[in-house]
Structure 1
Amino acid sequence: MEIITITGNVKYAITLDPSVWIFDDRKFELDRFFSKEAEQEQEYLDIDRERIIREGAVSPPTLKSEKKYEREKLLDGTFAIKLEPFLHNAEVSETAAFCIFKTEAGDFSVPIGEAGGILLCFSKNGKPLTEDGPVHVYFADGSNRTNPIKNVKEIHVQ
């Protein structure tokens, strides 16, 4: 079990356990987050599905099949969660300027104003990130999508 701590210029130093985030309602599929086309396609499918159901052409899926679909998605999905709620819980000081991700390869610094939008990927293809994890850090704009920050051991607010 690998954990990450948030320390430094915060009111409460907290410990994060990414292995339990799979049960967190705030998680989302990372690939869908970065895919604007998939988002537009899903929006179209949702509208079309609502129209078909409203017109009575098909009945809505049963709860049992929806649960099965969600379970399958958990087994092969790549999931992430935003850093913002954890920084909020740690109560970052008003004087904080940077969020530093401490890794085996060195430290990576992000301005505190941008840190809340950081994405913490904790599961790839349904598996926890055991080799180079426990999380991979992605910027919300996708600029490091092919080369995320890996082997994060601590998040230090300065």
Structure 2
Amino acid sequence: MMIIIPIQGNCKYRISLDPTTWIFDDRKLDLKTYFVEEKVEKDTMGDYIKATSKHWSRELMEGAKTEAELGKPKKKFKKQELLNGTFGIVLEPFLKNAEPEADAENVVFTDREGGEHRFPIKDAYGMIFQFSSEGKPLGEEGPAFLVMPDGSNMENPIKGIRSITFV
């Protein structure tokens, strides 16, 4: 059973999410370890400037090379981890791509029974959609579970999310 989750409402772009494709997404998180590992805040702008400077210097000295030539490792999961893992994905990039209108204040997650779960937009950005458990899609209870950013409801997530609406 494939269920697409729409992002709709008070936003510029309507987006459809297909949780079955996220297993191939490099942004996926291993939820068995995500909430127990120590979080390190990233200085994304500083990291970008360092990487750009390093790249520029290398190009001046050696000439341009492709990513493949550089042999940069991509984030990879072993086949066994994919077959047995419990994975999720942070909602922020999807919600930001929908571009909520300036007067939108909240995000409403509607579950399969019609229940509504309302959160301020800034809080919703950190939320995680769990899309697999023990290597399998979530089935009848899915297609996605809503997990709080701190994992406080990991044992009892909001199940059966069917739509996301900006209000």
Which TM class, normalised by the smaller chain length?
A: 0.7 to 0.9
Establish whether residue 109 from structure 1 lines up as the match of residue 110 from structure 2: no
**Counterpart-to-counterpart distance in 1, 2:154 and 2:134:** 16
Higher helix share: 1
Establish whether residue 152 from structure 1 lines up as the match of residue 153 from structure 2: no
**Counterpart-to-counterpart distance in 2, 1:82 and 1:36:** 16
CA-CA distance at 1:145 after TM superposition:
1.6
What residue is the counterpart of 1:90 in the other structure?
98
Aligned length: 130
Q: Which amino acid aligns with 1:18?
A: P
Establish whether residue 34 from structure 1 lines up as the match of residue 43 from structure 2: no
Q: RMSD of the alignment, in Å?
A: 1.7
Question: Gapped runs of 5+ residues in structure 2?
Answer: 40-75
SS of equivalent to 1:155: strand
Aligned ranges for residues 28-107 of structure 1 at < 5 Å? 28-36=29-37, 70-105=78-113, 106-107=115-116
Establish whether residue 128 from structure 1 lines up as the match of residue 102 from structure 2: no
CA-CA distance at 1:104 after TM superposition:
2.8
CA-CA distance at 1:94 after TM superposition:
2.0
SS of equivalent to 2:96: helix
What residue is the counterpart of 1:5 in the other structure?
6
CA-CA distance at 1:93 after TM superposition:
1.5
Q: Which amino acid aligns with 2:11?
A: V
SS of equivalent to 1:32: coil
Normalised to the residue count of structure 1, the TM-score between the two structures is 0.77
What residue is the counterpart of 2:18 in the other structure?
17
Q: Deviations over 1:117-151 (max 9, x none)?
A: 00000010100111200000000112212210001
SS of equivalent to 1:21: helix
**Counterpart-to-counterpart distance in 2, 1:29 and 1:131:** 22
**Counterpart-to-counterpart distance in 2, 1:127 and 1:157:** 30
Normalised to the residue count of structure 2, the TM-score between the two structures is 0.73
Identity %, equivalent residues:
48
CA-CA distance at 1:36 after TM superposition:
3.1
Question: Gapped runs of 5+ residues in structure 1?
Answer: 40-66
What residue is the counterpart of 1:62 in the other structure?
none
**Counterpart-to-counterpart distance in 2, 1:130 and 1:28:** 19
